[in-house]
Amino acid sequence: MKGNAGKAVLVAIVVAAAAVSGCASTPRDASTFGRGVAGEVQSVEWGTIQALRAVAIESGRRLTSDTAAVEFTVQLDSGKSIVVVQPGNVADFRVGDRVRVTNDGSQTRVAR
């Protein structure tokens, strides 16, 4: 019995560590990329910021605070409007800024 209980505890520790490390991979801002992104093709569009709003991204854990973030409303040059939320500070951008919008198929980022 003791052997099985020890294995169960070990499995629980490994699962918890994997979950915590997955949370730590959230990008800090539009200039931070994970290792898996290097060399991947991303689509690029240009647009103009129409609206900005300070928001928070929930941490999902009690011991850490939420992450400060920005909600961008961007009018793309194609005529399409999009909304993107990413970590960052709303004071770093202004309505009317020209921005580059990149997308790798699963994540979209806004940068000047």
Q: What is the CATH number of the domain that holds 63?
A: 2.40.50.660
Q: Go through 57-93 and write b for each residue having 16 or more CB atoms within 10 A of its CB, e for each that does not.
A: eeeeeeeeeebebbebbbeeeeeeebebebbbeeeeb
Residue 109 has pLDDT above 50, yes or no: yes
Q: What is the pTM of this model?
A: 0.67
Residue 57 has pLDDT above 70, yes or no: yes
For 1, half-sphere exposure in the C-beta direction (CA atoms, 13 angstrom radius) is: 0
Report residue 5's pLDDT band, with 50, 70 and 90 as the boundaries: low
Residue 53 has pLDDT above 90, yes or no: yes
Residue % of the chain over a pLDDT of 90: 53
Long-range contacts of 23-27 (CB under 8 A, 24+ apart): 23/59, 23/60, 23/61, 26/57, 26/67, 26/87, 27/86, 27/87, 27/109
Mean predicted lDDT score pLDDT of the chain: 80
Provide the residue range defining the domain that includes 92. Answer: 2-111
pLDDT, position 15: 45
Residues in the chain: 112
- Report the domain count for the chain: 1
